[in-house]
Structure 1
Amino acid sequence: MKTVKELLDGKGHEYVTIAADASALEAAQMMAEKGIGSLMVMDDGQMVGLISERDITYKLVAAGGSPGDTPVRDIMSSHILCVTPDKTVDECMALMTDKRVRHLPATADGRIVGVISIGDAVKAVIADQQFIIEQLESYITS
């Protein structure tokens, strides 16, 4: 099974940040523009949270809030679950499922080295399973 490091090496280590005092509207626009589902929230160069499209939907829009008037810090998730690059994708999927989160920042030596999503994890599992299937088919037919 792939590790977080291997997954990030394949998909890229880039992640997108937003200031804690930016509006939820700015966050939504940035996610839409980049085609991503979460942003790392920074304040004075420190990671203080993570905001996802679900945070905006459930904590703001469904509650009748105004995205243009609400700062990211008011709706972000401030308790962030992080993983290390040596964790397996299976371990990450179990953690995401258990804690009901869709994005996990990966950290090494106190710094963010990338973010993996549940979609990234599912794709990695499917690729591993496809490889196993091909190997078994090859074994059976030879």
Structure 2
Amino acid sequence: MRTVRQLLEAKPAEIIAIGPDAPVYDAIRLMAERSIGALLVMEGPRLVGILSERDYARKIVLQGRASRETPVRDIMTAQVRTVAPGDSTEHCMQLVTDSRIRHLPVLEGDKVLGVLSIGDLVKAVIEMQRQDIDQLQRYIAS
């Protein structure tokens, strides 16, 4: 089973974030430009929340709020589920499934190292399954 650290090593090291006082419009524009579904909300180096497309749909669109006037802090998810570099892929999959979330910030202490998406986790599981299948096929063939 691969660890979170191993998954992060396969990704670009860039952390894409926005400040809590920025307008929601800027956050959504940044997500669109970067083709991502969530942004970390940070005050300096400190993680204070996460903003997802789901937050936008439920707290701006459905409530009739204006994204240009609403600050990110008003709609972000403040209680963020996080993982550590030593956690397993299996633990992360369980966490996203149980919590019904799609993004997991990775923290080492208070330092943000990156973000894993459900896509990153599914890709890792598929790779592990392929390796298991290859090993079984070699065993059967020998």
Q: Scaled by the length of structure 1, what TM-score is found?
A: 0.94
* Identity within the alignment, %: 46
Q: Which ranges in structure 1 are unaligned for 5 or more consecutive residues?
A: none
Structure 1 residue 100 and structure 2 residue 129: aligned? no
Tell me the residue number matched to 2:19.
19
Query: 1:81-124 CA distances to partner (integer Å, 9 max, x unpaired)?
Result: 11110000110110111111111111113200111011111110
Q: Which runs of 4+ in 1 moved over 2 A?
A: 43-46
- Contact kept, 8 Å, 2:23 with 2:71, in 1: the verdict is yes
- Contact kept, 8 Å, 1:13 with 1:115, in 2: the verdict is no
Tell me the residue number matched to 1:110.
110
> Quick one: distance in 2 between partners of 1:130 and 1:108?
30
Tell me the residue number matched to 1:81.
81
3-state SS in 1 of match to 2:10: helix
Tell me the residue number matched to 1:2.
2
> Quick one: distance in 2 between partners of 1:11 and 1:112?
14
Alignment of 1:18-57 (within 5 A): 18-57=18-57
> Quick one: distance in 2 between partners of 1:81 and 1:118?
13
- Contact kept, 8 Å, 1:82 with 1:107, in 2: the verdict is yes
Q: Scaled by the length of structure 2, what TM-score is found?
A: 0.94
Q: Which ranges in structure 2 are unaligned for 5 or more consecutive residues?
A: none
For the aligned residue pairs, the C-alpha RMSD in angstroms reads 1.2
Tell me the residue number matched to 1:59.
59
Tell me the residue number matched to 2:72.
72
Question: In the comparison of the two structures, how many residue pairs are matched?
Answer: 142
> Quick one: distance in 1 between partners of 2:130 and 2:50?
32
